Chain A
Amino acid sequence: MRIGILAHSFSSAFEIYKAISGHEVFIILSPSPRRSARTSYLANLVRVTLKGFKSLRLFANGRLTFLHGPLHDPKSVATLKKLNLDVGLHKAGVIYRDVTIDAFRLGILNHHIGILPAYRGRSVLEWSILQGDPVGVTVFFIDTGIDTGARILLSEEVDISNCRSVTEAKQYLFSLDRVFFPRALALLSEGDKTFQLNDGSGPRYFVMSKLFTGVVEQLLQGKQ
């Protein structure tokens, strides 16, 4: 399959790139919403150079694409379509529009650090712990809503008992995209398209207060 990793930062995309084998993988970098397109471009050029020979080869082989506008910009969409990609992997901090999602034959996968459909939205790791529910990861095809994409490819509980803080637990779960994205792609390659249904039955969670985050920290430390 032809896979496109959608990211703002080369470094985060490159970690996933290195973890995927058996597919044609492209990295597509769009400007960070917090920076100008030019600054984003220059920052990523520096990152590519610093990563050494493998990343420079990626650049030389045309596997690295810089977009000059947001992912929904008509020029960006045209560039994505030209790449003729099957699946996108979400590493950009944006909510996608249909026009971008439709540029991929099968859609764009998201690695979500919560169990869907129960936990969607923000701070779902913290909310799961606070409410005494399992912590885990879900890989699903996104739509234009907040974690409402109906097709779930993978959903698994993850043991975080070795993590000493919320920050550490989050970093650990996010880092598992290098494990779960390749597994999800393997499932798709096998032609196993029996999706679990994300029926949107769970509520949307929001950023957690300092008070409850403190409670979660205590609960995490209690599990050590």
Chain B
Amino acid sequence: MDTRQQIIANALRQRYDEVRKITSQPLSKWTTPVAWFESRSDSLTAIRALAADEPVEFVETAPPDEPSFFNDLQASIRDPQRRFESLTMRYLHPLNVAASSEHRVREHLLERLMVADRSRIEQHSLHLLNANDLLLRLNLIAIYASFTTDLRYLDALNYYYELLPSDWSPNNSLRLSFLNFYLRALATHID
């Protein structure tokens, strides 16, 4: 590890220790979906299970059509409830967001979080955002951050950890799972 990597790891370790005070430590290692995990549970239940480090049952299948979903996602930019429903329908097993077929979707989610949503929150308009939609997207990005070396994803989590008021918890379950996935992502990058 060179000096640069050491400085990055030290900063992440400090943040890890800070986040660990408010959420539990992740345990088991996740499997990257090579194809697609088909799950019988619904997306939010599966997110809660993953955050609690409980197994989510699945069978491997072929990934569903990506272009039509991506188009739908773009079309729902101004309709957060529709986007929330689309994302929960697609990611019945949330680890699917890390599948290679989901590259465009992840980039889109990252961009929305780091441009439009960030800007609105910084203009003191957090209350105008659909909290479930925002937190679901943060959870999905946080899950992917554990699978990638692309630091932009981890830094989106850093940013939101610093940005969101600590007493803001409209959906406590999704807020807690976000912190848990963030902790896991930090651990992955420290290792």
A207 in the interface (beta carbon within 8 A): yes
Given contacts A131-B151, A211-B11, A215-B8, contact A204 B111 (CB under 8 A): yes
Q: Is the Cβ of A207 less than 8 Å from the Cβ of B118?
A: yes
* B-side contacts of A132, CB under 8 Å: 2, 4
Q: Is A130 part of the contact surface with B, judged by Cβ < 8 Å? A: yes
**Quick one: closest B residue to A208, CB to CB?**
B155
How many interface residues does A have (CB within 8 Å)?
18
Chain B residues with CB under 8 Å of A219's CB are 4, 7
B162 pairs with A212, CB closer than 8 A: no
Task: Count chain B residues whose beta carbon lies closer than 8 angstroms to a beta carbon of A.
Answer: 23
CB neighbours (8 Å) of B155 from chain A are 206, 208-209, 211-212
The yes or no answer to A39 lying at the interface (CB within 8 A) is no
Q: How far is the CA of A204 from the CA of B109 in the complex (A)?
A: 13
**A219 → B minimal CB distance (Å):** 6
CB 8 Å contact bits of A194-211 with B (1 = contact, 0 = none): 000000000111111111
Q: Is A74 on the interface with B (CB-CB < 8 A)?
A: no
Choose among A208, A211, A212, A219 the residue with the greatest number of B CB atoms under 10 Å from its CB: A211
12 of the cross-chain contacts (CB-CB < 8 Å) are: A130-B4, A130-B8, A130-B151, A132-B4, A203-B150, A203-B152, A207-B159, A210-B158, A211-B11, A211-B12, A212-B155, A219-B7
B residues bordering A, Cβ < 8 Å? 2-4, 7-8, 11-12, 15, 107, 110-111, 114-115, 118, 150-152, 155-156, 158-159, 161-162
